[in-house]
Structure 1
Amino acid sequence: MTIVDRARETQATLAPYFPGLILCVTIAAAASFLSEHYGGPALLFALLIGMAFNFLMEEGKAKIGVEFASKFVLRLGVGLLGIRITMQDIAAFGWRTPVIVAGLMALTLGAGFVAARLFGRQWRFALMTGGAVAICGASATLAIAAVIPHNDKTERNVLFTVVAVTTLSTAAMIAYPVIFGALGLEDREIGFLIGATIHDVAQVVGAGYSISDVAGDAATVVKLLRVAFLPVVLMVIVLALRGQGAGGKVPLLPWFMVLFIALSVTGSAFSVPAAISGPIELVSRAMLVTAIAALGVKTSLKAMLAVGSGHIWVVVFETLLLLVAAIVAFEIFQPLG
Structure 2
Amino acid sequence: MVLLQLRSFRSWLVSSDRSLRDTLNSIFWLSCVLGIVFLQFRRLVVRLLRLGRVKGRKHGPIVQLLWNICFYTSATIFLLLYQMLLIRPEVVRESGKYFPQYNNAIFATACDPAKFEIITVVLVAFRVFSTVSKLSSGDYSVAFSSALCSTLLLCCFTLRLENYSILLNLYLAIYSTFEETFLLYASQTDQKHNGKLTVFVLLKCGTWIYLFLNLLPFEFLIPTLYARRELFPLKLCFWLWYCSCVWNSPLLKLLYHKIYHPHPNDCAGGGSAVRCILSNDWQSFRHFRNLEHAYLELMMHQSRARANAATTNENATMTAFQTIKCVVSLKRKLKRLRENKEQLDKYK
* TM-score, structure 2 normalization: 0.32
| Structure ranking higher on relative contact order (CA contacts 8 Å, 6+ apart) | 1
**Bigger-Rg structure (1/2):** 2
